[in-house]
Structures are given as structure tokens and as C-alpha cells.
Structure 1
Amino acid sequence: MFPEQIALSLNLNLEILTGCGFSCPGCTVEKNFAPLDIPDADSQALEAFVLDLRKEQFRLLEFKVGPTDICSSDNGFAALRHPLVKFLSQHYKALNINLAMLHTRGFEELAELLDDLMPGKKLSVTVPMTLKNIGNPKYRSVLKEHITHFKGLLKRVDFNRVYAGFNVVEENLTHLDLEHYELAHTLDLGDVGIVVEFPFAHSRTGFDNLLNVEKFKRDLAVYTEFAKARVNTQMFRPLQPAILEGFEFTYRGGRLYSTPVLIENFPIFHPDFELPKPWTTASVLAYKSDRYYDNLIEFAEHPECGNCCFLDRCARGDVHRIMKMIGKDTCLTNTKNRWDLLLVE
């Protein structure tokens, strides 16, 4: 059994949207990979999985319909009418979607669909942003205007949160300074709260390409060194996996993948992270506990990780698997035994 020091919750992502009208910096999503025609067997398996999770007292907090902008995708509105999505809406407390918020086309139809799908429940929206745009007062004003407009269209859904996503790529790293960082964390979005995220999209491309591996290492080092300098400020972002936030899995192309955590969620669609069928609560717990103990056993004697205070956290977040995948034998975030960088949960 996986140790009890973990929240029994499971967030579920459905990557079923095809096409996107935007080309956001650092985006590595395969825009035409994920068709909506989910096999009936997979829909039934996912529904049974969710019912089993509920039976075993798991909290079903948020599910996501992605991975592209829902308004400009080829099948976004059809996805919200899909029987599986309707089923999940009945059992999860919140839905997450992607919206660029650069225009308001499609907002009225989207709001109607969401009101029918999630009445009385919560909606969060992931908005891809760049630090350069955040420095532009006109962009900030238009962003707030569009978010306020969209919130006003929703009558039965509580649109309460925006995830502001700044992909850690060269375009954003060029503007990664105190001014832009503060602007990102103090965005005024009216009555909608904001959570700032700096995801590493390199993982979606895969690490078979050595150029991608080296780029990831370089971008990670630049970002983590900047983040460490924010310690003891309100904008400090922990660099260790949050071990009490439960599990996240992604359905993609007929497979279900566990999502490791490297600062932010770090989706990798590699066989090593695939959850074999049948998808059940028992198989999730067995998979996660096996990975956890395997990581501990393998890295307990590791010269870098063995005597580090974060060994347990990294084992839970599957950070060690990422180290192995990219061929790095030292701490990915260069935080060995840095207790001063740990927030008390």
C-alpha cells in the first residue's frame, strides 16, 4: 500500500481535442493527434474507473478537456457534448479547459454548453501567456476584459480560477526578470483568482532527441536559479514535488498515463509511465506504490540523492525516473538538502 501521507484524490485529463487556431510560444502539443472518437471500450473503462475511485473514497476534484484551445479546436464543442465528458461532469467538482482569451468568438455558445454541463460546479481556465505580453498594459487590459466578459456569460457555473501558463522556453526566459515576474503574480483579473504556473513543455516532445534534452536542462537551470532568489518572498515557488496533492492521470490515444511532478506537472507519454489495464483504484495504488518503493530502493545509495532530505518527495513525484530518462546523475533543480527552499504544507 502507498504510504498514507498522500491525499486520496485523482485528477483526470482527457486529450481529445484536435486542431488549434493559435501558435503559442513553447507549445509542443500534437494538435492533430487526439481524435474525439473514443472507443466505446475505453469510455466504459474510464467510467468504471471513476465509479471505483468514488467507491474507494477518492476525491474527484478536477477533470480537464484538452489539450488545445477549446474554442478554436475542430471539435471542442462536440467534446463537451460527448457522453464520457457528461459522465465525468456528474462526478467531478470542477472542469478545466484551455482558452487563449485573445478574442471572444465562440464564448456565448461555450458558456451555454458549460452551464448545461456543470451547473452548480466550478470552472477553471488555463490561459497560455508570455512574460513579454504581461509587460504590455494593453494586453493586461484586454485579458481582464475578455475574462470578465466570459464570466458574465456563465449563469450556472462558477468560473473561479485562471491558471496563467508561462512555458519555460527561451521567449519567456528572455523576459524572466523581477518586473515581469511580479506583473505575472499580481495580474488583476477582476473576480477571478489566478494561479501562476511555469510548465516545462519539453516533456511532450520526448527525450529521444538529444537537442531537446540539452535544451530542457538549460531552460530548467535558468528558471530554477531565478526561482531560488525569490525565497522568503510572497512569490516564492517551491521547487520540490508537492506530495500531498494527489495523483494526476491523462487519457491519450487509448492509453492512461501517470503524470510525474517536476516543479509543475510534467506529462510524459512514454510506456514507462503508462498504467496497464484494467484501470482500477487498486491498479493505481499498486502502480504508484511500486514506483515509489522502486525509486527509494534504487536511489537510497545514490551519491546525489541517497543522503538528501528530499529523497522521499522526489520518489513520490517520480523525479528519479526523469533523471534516468534524460541521463542526468545530479539533482535536476540543484536543491540538494536546501531546507530553506521548502515551504511548510
Structure 2
Amino acid sequence: MATCDVCGEEVNMPYNCGSCGGTYCSAHRLPENHSCPGLEQWNDPDAVFDSGFDDSVDAGGSSGGLRSKVGLDTGPGGPLAYFRGNFAYLFLGLSVVVFGLQFLVAPLFGAPPGSPAWYDIFTLSTANPEFVWTWFVSIFAHGGITHLLFNAIALYFFGPIVERQVGSRKFAALFLVSGIAAGLGQVGLALFTGEAARVLGASGAIMAIMGVLSMTAPDLKVLLFFVIPMSVRTLTILFAGFSIFMVAANTTGSGLLSGVAHFAHLVGLFIGLWYGNRIKGRVGRGPQQLNLGPGRGGPGGPGGPGRRP
């Protein structure tokens, strides 16, 4: 049994909207009957009818746009169409690629992990905050396989839900802006307290995603450590409370320094909560359960997003 997100009716065979992810009865299954945010994209050439990379439609049929400039087919079915609706997976793939560059490629060129050159390339630090490329690279770099694995799991399962709610372009902006702001926030705090710090990892951006979901789908059921059931809102509150405690302990010199950028987590979470509060009235409550069973989830094919629970 499931409950319709509009009228609250309990239905045995609910409809899951492929755009906003909500659960609806037969009377509200059509996008126009549940005020689906996807309706706003029907006249947007960057959404339904375009890959998100081509602005030629805006040119009134002219030859402008990325397709004419670089000679690539960016329409549905083209080589770039796969990325439409799949930016969460694109960012996950970038994290894996950068991880390989960190630990396999960089050492071959005289920059082994832990060396000054390695830090200058892959981490945002108090020593060189003006290295603008590290603002971006550090989001996709990670300190080890466990660090990458936990962030990858969160991005794989939660990222596509938010991307489906807001669209790929806004999701990409949320991910990158929150990731950069989180890193700069951690470095700024370290500079303020007179400490040295190096920041890397997508945790700040992941917390922004969790913050959005806490506002748009607060009752989404998840399993902490794949065992303990709770809502995504409860999980976010627990994580935020722990981060606040650790920031306070580290700032007061209580000996609880753990090498984890907890303040970066809070910056990302704040951005996510702020943005989620802005859009929650337009995207509905979203899915109420994260179904990790076979046949659900995974990236979509060229020209369209995959299905999500």
C-alpha cells in the first residue's frame, strides 16, 4: 500500500511520476493533475526536447548553439544526450577518474600521495587558497577508497532523486556551488583560527543533496548502514548534530580533531536546506521510500533519464 502525495488516498498500485518522483493515485497520476514541476520544462529547450547542451532552439532555427560550434550532435540520441538526466552518475564517474589520477597516474609523474605537488593539485588548502582549480578538483578528489566509497553510495542513491526534482542543469549548479562553498568555508574557518587545513572530497556537496531531500522528501525511508530504518530528515539531523558537536569540540581544542572537514559538511547542508526550502512547494514531497531492488535505479540511456523509485 502507498499513499497518494496529493489526496492522501491509499492505493494498492500507485503511479510513480518519472519527473518529480512522487507517488500518486489514478486520479492524480498525470503531471497536470499533481502540478508536476516537469510541466515547467515543456517549453524549455534545455529540458525535454533538448539535451541540455544545445541552445540552438533559442536562436529561432538558426545555426547557433553548441552543435554548430563544435560539430557534435547534442540532440536526443546524440553522443552527448546520455548526460541529460544523468549528471549524478557523471559526477560519480568523475570522482572515480580523479581517484585514479590521484593514486595511479600522479605518482608516475613525480607527485606521490602526500607530496607537496600532490596536495597542490588535488586539495584546497590554507597554504594556497588562490589555486582556483583546486576549488573544483578537490570536490572530486578523495583521501582513500573508503572516503570515495561512502560518498559514491550517497551520490548514487540520493543524487538522481534531487536531479529529477530540479533538472540536470540546476542539479549540477547545486553540486558544484555547494562543493566549492563547503571547501572554502572549511579553509576560511581554519584561516580564522590560525590552523592549517587541506580539504578534499564531495561530502559538502552530498550534504547539500541531503539538505534538499530533507525539505522536499523528508519522509523518504532509508537504511542507515543498510540496517537501521529512518527517514532522510532524521538521518540528516543526526549527521548535522554530530558535525556541530565536532566543530565545537575542534574549535575549543578539546582534542577531538579527526581530520574530517565537519564545518564543510555544515556549509553544504545549509545550502541544501536553503535551496530545498525554496523549491519544496514546486516539487511535491517526492518518493516516500528508497527502493533498492533490482530493476530500479541506474542511469538512463541516451536521450533521457533512467527510472528511479
Instruction: Pick the TM interval, shorter chain.
Output: under 0.3
Higher helix share: 2
Larger RCO, structures 1/2 (Cα 8 Å, 6+ apart): 2
Provide TM-score, normalisation by structure 1. 0.24
Higher strand share: 1
Larger Rg: 2
Provide TM-score, normalisation by structure 2. 0.26
